[in-house]
Structure 1
């Protein structure tokens, strides 16, 4: 699939100055004063959100998926389960410290950085949780090719933990706000990070213990999400636009398209091969087909207010989470 996309966009990767500055290893120009530090716009009151809404009673701060298993985070807990388990109140609840950082997904596990430890929770067996002790506190973590990669929102470095080896800390451009695992076409995995203050996106060259190329996500990056075969879906909140990146030897911008105001949440839909973003300003989720080299809107539905997180499961369900307590929204393939 990714190879089709790559061929389609060859010759069209030249982007506007607002979208992309030069790709340099470990270097990014200073942003203009009006760039960076993106935040999601507050939503108007929601009206007739699509699909089914499950009351949660608390703001949902993170939502990720491993296959058909979802995990969402409220202040002191993770709730883990399939769509049916969430509907039927049969999901697993895992207590967490409210001070823990970002919740991320790997190929088989949910990953949560909690200061001096990282909690690794298998999607198919949450009770078999593993805990990894860290040398320095982390606010975000990712698993890639059996390596644990951690970062801190206040430090300009990333640390790689390998089995039976001392941790390796490398310098990177600015601190890390988001860190994700990206599956690649050759079966390996990589790690991509962002910094919202400088609106950069950067890959980590795990095999070489160094930072990779550094790009800018338009005017102000919101969320990024992993896709198939090296794809990364990014919401340029301040653009406003969707940006699609590809990762082979280094991260590269592939496609962009304008969106509704304040796109924040981002996701890849493996069932329909669509890139999704949520507009918190408009209470909309928009799905884009990207196989032809330019994102083309093909799906749209009204969301809950403050839909800051979105994911799609392999069975075709699109799930949206409200950051202000309206609950969890499930839109089935038929809808």
Structure 2
């Protein structure tokens, strides 16, 4: 296991093959469910690997789990019991991200797949490498992280603008105003990137085995330390660890509810989703609900605040309405 404190990186002359690394942390295998999941559950044909509620339409996109699976399921959040749309992808997708309004972005080997929600049509942007993460910036440029630790900037037409390397892997990206952070699961670290100088910036150890990362509207960078059982909260510019809080039960997937400023974390060892208010100096638990088995994904419909949790075991999609969560608090 690598030991990281505070590092500085550079895109020139770096060699990710020589970095000290570990096997990436993964979600703990969930036990059989002992409590009825909160809210409503609809069945899907296959286990869910990733979820995203598209911001402008509220359509819920479910990416099937499995290294060989290449199917995307689209459901209307207003009527999740309706007939879902199935979209065949040209390659296995690693994750889901918001594109321009009405569009999904899916990183995959050698490409970024763009999905038009209304028509379910696909277009592809070629990428040099196995794309694992992608984020769209306000100017329409895309940041793409690859399995070999490179972060590439593409212009809105897909043309390569710059490449920053020096990491072991670029598994998740967070954009906060002018700052970009990268989660490296193989080094269990979070690193800032200076896009203007094409350099790696400050890097901090992210617990014992970090797996997922998001940003909130206040510019905080939130990470699940799955192996360490903690929720980590960083600030950007400069990168600093501001909060760490024991969650236990293998915290894994993350989602942020803008309406209530709540971060939701799935815990696969207990089949639960837990909400935290981060407004004070220490995270405060504001909700806890039983979930479908193996809750490896979670998303929030930002228009309504409704939460969706995906099962990576049984293929169930769970909906916990915002109004029901308020009643339970």
Indicate yes or no: 2:139 matched with 1:116: no
How many residues are paired up? 304
Contact kept in structure 2, 1:270 and 1:313, CA below 8 Å: no
Deviation digits for residues 12-56 of structure 1 (CA, Å, limit 9, x no counterpart)? xxxxxxxx954333289x87x9x7631211111112011101100
Structure-1 separation of matches of 2:116 and 2:258: 20
- 2:40 aligned residue: 52
Alignment-derived partner of residue 262 in structure 2: 274
Q: Which runs of 5 or more residues in structure 1 are unaligned?
A: 1-19
Q: Which of 130, 134, 137 does residue 127 from structure 2 map onto?
A: 134
- The equivalences for 1:1-335 within 5 A come to 22-26=5-9, 37-46=24-33, 47-67=35-55, 68-74=58-64, 75-89=69-83, 91-106=84-99, 108=101, 109-123=103-117, 125-127=118-120, 129-144=122-137, 145-153=139-147, 155-163=148-156, 166-176=160-170, 178-184=171-177, 190-247=179-236, 249-314=237-302, 315-335=304-324
Tell me, in whole angstroms, the C-alpha distance in 2 between the residues paired with 1:106 and 1:208: 25
Output the CA distance in 1 between the equivalents of 2:187 and 2:314. Answer: 30
TM-score normalised by length of structure 2: 0.82
Does structure 1 retain, via aligned residues, the 8 Å contact 2:38–2:320? yes
How far does the alpha carbon of each residue in 1:113-168 deviate from its partner, in whole angstroms, 9 at most, with x for none? Answer: 23222112245x35464421234443433322322222321x13222222576442
Change (3 A) 1:250 1:128: farther
Pair 70,44 (structure 1): closer, same or farther in 2 beyond 3 Å: same
Residues 1:64 and 1:208: Cα distance change in structure 2 (over 3 Å): farther
Would the aligned equivalents of 2:225 and 2:251 in 1 still touch at CA under 8 Å?
A: yes
Taking the aligned partners of 1:98 and 1:166, their CA distance within structure 2 comes to: 21
CA distance in 2, matches of 1:36, 1:254: 26
Q: CA deviation at 1:332?
A: 0.4
Which secondary structure state, in structure 1, belongs to the residue aligned with residue 78 of structure 2? helix
* Counterparts of 1:288 and 1:151, CA distance in 2: 28
> Does structure 1 retain, via aligned residues, the 8 Å contact 2:63–2:95?
no
Query: Aligned partners of 1:54 and 1:192: how far apart in 2?
Result: 35
Runs (5+) with no aligned partner, structure 2: 11-15, 325-329
Partner secondary structure for residue 58 of structure 1? coil
CA pair 72-218 structure 1, distance change in 2 beyond 3 A: same
- Residue deviations 1:274-302, cap 9 Å, x none? 11111100111110011112101010000
Say which SS state the counterpart of residue 334 (structure 1) adopts. Answer: helix
Deviation track 1:223-264 (CA, whole Å, cap 9, x = no partner) reads 2223223222211111111112233x2433221111132111
